[in-house]
């Protein structure tokens, strides 16, 4: 919000940083472990007076220097270039917080460059003892660079006590510092063996090539022994535990799979092509092993970055550059306080342009426009305007890895108007509410469900369920999928949605207000409504319904509820905060279902000798009472209404 946005709609800044960073990290870790590989192998060659091995070290040193100093240096500059343009707020924060740490790292990097140049170009002319010292100096400088960078990037994920005291060492020696340091060092030594396979592939003498292939394989295997426990240690100290990480965002799940397949491939290729059958080792197998190692490293870095979400610096700065401590202030009017926003005041003429500005400032950090990574157009294809407005207000709760929307209500509608209207050409209404041209159930489906999936998917889900099962499912969506919220609309809205899903006419459900009115009218003469609520609290809706119909059994001074089934359902709704049973003419059901064979009085007389559960069971199993009768096959809510009607009409029996 304090800097202009480098807008690359089809590429996305996040993907650009990821490509540059993972490539650089892959090579820079080799710069650390490879230094140890060089000096240890040289020491072995001089101890054994092995000129052939010494010549190998010299050739590998040239490959090492070109890859780490030239390519690694260029990609390192590329990282600063990309993060400075794409995440300027975070870059500024890291520089100001760790300025002396960065300065020290650049000093050690300069030492690396000088030591490596001397190491290679003085390989034959410098005395053995001094040359080995230069190699050790290079390795020490490279390891100290890793030490310093590790503390700073670890701070972004786990700032620790720095949040409270703002002290350099509290942020540097953060909770993930030590496990991350040793895990990265183990990865570095593993990569030293991986890259050595390239130099080994060009050895002409077969016996020596086999010897060096096994030697580099041993480096990789010994490193793996350290990588596994340090990696496990690192997982344990992450802000999200291992189980949460595995069940987090779809991006993390995909990267976990990539990492697992890459690790499996790495182990297979390593053991088969370089250890068991070293004769099979060549440039192709070296590339295969390196690709698998790159997949392992890349997935680790991606998961680590993704675990920071919704932050770029945890607890301080959201991934879109909005400081956490300024959210409340900016929510009063985001565009007016954003230095680089082209629009400060929203009106009917610029509302979608304002939405485009909000997209760039708040969404573009993670989403692209028609790009390959988190394409916002495909992600919003099924959502209508009302659904988008609601989603923007709750997306941080629904998807904790996404930052909250920051802005006032008008700005929220402007962003929804851009995402729905500009990108998809759908109807929007930022300033005026349109007349509803669709029924309530259809409207609720589009508003509530299209955020994540299309209406057709919901209709397919409900096709083979009963109305009661659909109602129960909507009230317990979180049990179907933990990423969904239970339906929280009014009883009328729930009834309308159920009716729409089942292809029925939406019933006119009694409102909660009518239930409260009945409470006041029926109960306040003897006791307050609070007593009724306390009584109903531990009971299920069916138990509340049964209790209201049998009040005289609870207290002989009370009369059983004698209102209509609709009023009974409204009372249950008011007491349990759940959906009222649909308004159904139970008398009409009784006439339609029973009058062809016997009168309604006969049915009521039969019901008088039974309790509610027995009546309900009997209606569902009429063929067992008389083989000439058919079991009740109507809707579940019709069955409940008929049961209530018979219970209410059968006074004088056991009720």
**Mean of pLDDT values over 598-621:** 81
Written as six digits, the tokens of 286 are 């070296």
The pLDDT confidence band at residue 433, using thresholds 50, 70 and 90, is: low
pLDDT at 445: 76
Which CA distances in Å does 545 have to 252, 521, 620? Answer: 47, 18, 19
The pLDDT confidence band at residue 448, using thresholds 50, 70 and 90, is: confident
**Mean of pLDDT values over 120-128:** 94
More confident residue, 325 or 486: 325
Distance, CA of 641 to CA of 631 (rounded, Å): 16
What's phi and psi for 283, nearest 5 deg? Answer: -65, -35
Written as six digits, the tokens of 595 are 């009058």
Distance, CA of 445 to CA of 426 (rounded, Å): 16
More confident residue, 196 or 603: 196
**Mean of pLDDT values over 56-71:** 95
pLDDT at 591: 66
For the cut 80, the answer to whether the pLDDT of residue 175 exceeds it is yes
Query: Residue 323 forms beta bridges with which residues?
Result: 317
**Mean of pLDDT values over 53-81:** 94
Residue where the block lists tokens 């933990």: 482
Helix or strand (DSSP H, E) at 106? helix 99-121
Which CA distances in Å does 642 have to 23, 152, 212, 618, 620? Answer: 70, 70, 86, 12, 11
Range ranked top by mean pLDDT from 219-233, 364-378, 430-444: 219-233
For the cut 80, the answer to whether the pLDDT of residue 652 exceeds it is no
The pLDDT confidence band at residue 510, using thresholds 50, 70 and 90, is: very low
Helix (H, G, I), strand (E, B) or coil at 553: helix
pLDDT at 584: 43
pLDDT at 166: 92
Distance, CA of 351 to CA of 349 (rounded, Å): 6
Helix or strand (DSSP H, E) at 501? helix 491-501
Contact by Cβ (8 Å): 499, 441: yes
Angle between helices 491-501 and 467-475 (to 10 degrees): 130
pLDDT at 582: 38
Q: Residue 502: which of 651, 386, 636 has the closest Cα?
A: 636
pLDDT at 244: 61
The 10 Å Cβ neighbour count of residue 623 is: 11
The pLDDT confidence band at residue 588, using thresholds 50, 70 and 90, is: low
pLDDT digits (tens, 9 = 90+) for 146-171: 999 999 999 999 999 999 999 999 99
pLDDT at 533: 75
Distance, CA of 109 to CA of 348 (rounded, Å): 56
Contact by Cβ (8 Å): 573, 491: yes
**Mean of pLDDT values over 447-470:** 77
Range ranked top by mean pLDDT from 64-78, 383-397, 590-604: 64-78
Contact by Cβ (8 Å): 642, 588: no
pLDDT exceeding 90 applies to what percent of the chain? 47
Angle between helices 13-47 and 128-157 (to 10 degrees): 150
**Pick from 18-27, 535-544, 553-562, 611-620: least confident:** 553-562
Angle 633-638-640 from CA coordinates, rounded to 5° = 105
Helix (H, G, I), strand (E, B) or coil at 361: helix
More confident residue, 300 or 181: 181
pLDDT at 57: 96
The pLDDT confidence band at residue 523, using thresholds 50, 70 and 90, is: low
Contact by Cβ (8 Å): 371, 10: yes
The pLDDT confidence band at residue 654, using thresholds 50, 70 and 90, is: very low
The DSSP secondary structure of 265-305, one letter per residue, reads HHHHHIIIIIII-GGG-SHHHHHHHHHHHHHHHHHHHHHHH
**Pick from 107-121, 373-387, 573-587, 615-629: least confident:** 573-587
The 10 Å Cβ neighbour count of residue 644 is: 27
pLDDT at 606: 85
**Mean of pLDDT values over 459-464:** 82
Is the pTM higher than 0.75? The answer reads: no
**Mean of pLDDT values over 179-192:** 96
pLDDT exceeding 70 applies to what percent of the chain? 87
Contact by Cβ (8 Å): 39, 135: yes
**Alpha-carbon Rg for the chain in angstroms:** 35
**Mean of pLDDT values over 517-542:** 67
pLDDT digits (tens, 9 = 90+) for 254-274: 888 898 999 999 999 988 888
What's phi and psi for 312, nearest 5 deg? Answer: -95, -30
The 10 Å Cβ neighbour count of residue 615 is: 23
pLDDT at 576: 67
Say if residue 310 is preceded by a cis peptide, omega within 30 of 0: yes
Distance, CA of 541 to CA of 533 (rounded, Å): 12
The pLDDT confidence band at residue 513, using thresholds 50, 70 and 90, is: very low
pLDDT at 478: 77
Please state, rounded to an integer, the average pLDDT across all residues of the chain. Answer: 84
More confident residue, 633 or 498: 498
Q: Residue 142: which of 27, 59, 42 has the closest Cα?
A: 27
Written as six digits, the tokens of 149 are 């960078």
Distance, CA of 430 to CA of 504 (rounded, Å): 32
pLDDT at 465: 83
Burial 77-102 (b: 16+ CB within 10 A, else e): ebbeebbebbbbbbbebbeebbeebe
Written as six digits, the tokens of 136 are 């050790």
Helix or strand (DSSP H, E) at 312? strand 311-313
For the cut 90, the answer to whether the pLDDT of residue 418 exceeds it is yes
pLDDT at 183: 95
pLDDT at 26: 95
């Amino acid at each position: 919000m304090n800097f202009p946005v480098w807008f690359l709609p089809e590429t996305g800044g996040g993907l650009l940083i990821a490509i540059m960073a993972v490539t650089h990290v892959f090579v820079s870790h080799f710069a650390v472990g490879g230094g140890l590989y060089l000096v240890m192998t040289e020491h072995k060659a001089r101890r054994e007076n092995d000129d052939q091995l010494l010549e190998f070290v010299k050739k590998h040193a040239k490959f090492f220097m070109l890859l780490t100093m030239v390519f690694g240096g260029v990609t390192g500059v590329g990282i600063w270039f990309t993060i400075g343009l794409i995440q300027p707020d975070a870059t500024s924060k890291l520089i100001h917080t760790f300025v002396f740490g960065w300065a020290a790292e650049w000093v050690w990097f300069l030492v690396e460059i000088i030591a490596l140049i001397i190491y290679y170009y003085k390989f034959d002319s410098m005395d053995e003892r001094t040359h080995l010292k230069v190699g050790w100096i290079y390795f020490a400088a490279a390891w100290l660079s890793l030490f310093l960078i590790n503390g700073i990037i670890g701070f972004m994920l786990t700032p620790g006590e720095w949040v409270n005291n703002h002290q350099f060492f509290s942020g540097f020696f953060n909770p993930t510092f030590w496990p991350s340091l040793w895990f990265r060092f183990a990865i570095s030594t593993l990569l030293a063996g991986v890259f050595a396979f390239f130099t080994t592939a060009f050895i002409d003498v077969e016996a020596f090539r086999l010897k060096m292939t096994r030697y580099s394989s041993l480096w990789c295997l010994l490193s793996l022994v350290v990588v596994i426990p340090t990696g496990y240690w690192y997982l344990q100290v992450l802000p999200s535990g291992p189980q949460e990480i595995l069940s987090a965002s779809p991006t993390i799940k995909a990267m976990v799979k990539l990492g697992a397949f890459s690790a499996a491939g790495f182990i297979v290729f390593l053991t088969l092509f370089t250890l068991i059958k070293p004769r099979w080792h060549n440039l192709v197998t070296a590339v295969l092993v390196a690709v698998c190692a790159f997949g392992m490293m890349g997935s680790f870095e991606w998961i680590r970055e993704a675990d920071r979400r919704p932050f770029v610096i945890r607890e301080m700065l959201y991934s879109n550059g909005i400081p956490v401590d300024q959210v409340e202030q900016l929510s009063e009017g985001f565009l007016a306080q954003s230095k680089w926003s082209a629009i400060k005041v929203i009106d009917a003429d610029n509302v979608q342009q304002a939405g485009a500005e909000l997209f760039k400032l708040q969404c573009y950090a993670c989403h692209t426009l028609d790009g390959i990574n988190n394409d916002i157009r495909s992600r919003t294809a099924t959502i209508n305007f009302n659904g988008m407005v609601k989603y923007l207000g709750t997306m941080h709760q629904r998807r904790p890895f996404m930052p909250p929307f920051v802005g006032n209500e008008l700005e929220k509608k402007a962003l929804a108007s851009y995402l729905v209207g500009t990108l998809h050409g759908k109807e929007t209404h930022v300033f005026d509410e349109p007349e509803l041209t669709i029924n309530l159930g259809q409207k609720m489906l589009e508003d509530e469900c299209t955020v994540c999936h299309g209406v057709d998917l919901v209709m397919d889900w409900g096709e083979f369920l009963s109305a009661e099962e659909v109602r129960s499912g909507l009230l317990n969506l979180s049990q179907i999928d933990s990423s969904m919220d239970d339906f929280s609309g009014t009883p009328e809205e729930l009834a309308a949605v159920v009716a729409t899903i089942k292809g029925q006419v939406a019933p006119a459900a009694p409102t909660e207000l009518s239930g409260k009115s009945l409470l006041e009218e029926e109960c306040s003469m003897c006791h307050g409504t609070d007593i009724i609520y306390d009584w109903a609290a531990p009971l299920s809706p069916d138990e509340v319904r049964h209790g209201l119909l049998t009040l005289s059994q609870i207290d002989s001074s009370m009369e059983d509820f004698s209102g209509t089934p609709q009023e009974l359902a409204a009372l249950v709704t008011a007491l349990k905060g759940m959906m009222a049973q649909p308004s159904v003419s139970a008398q009409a059901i009784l006439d339609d279902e029973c009058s062809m064979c016997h009168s309604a009085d006969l049915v009521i007389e039969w019901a008088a000798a039974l309790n509610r559960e027995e009546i309900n069971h009997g209606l569902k199993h009429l063929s067992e009472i008389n083989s000439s009768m058919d079991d009740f096959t109507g809707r579940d809510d019709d069955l409940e209404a008929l049961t209530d009607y018979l219970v209410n009409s059968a006074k004088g029996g056991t009720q």
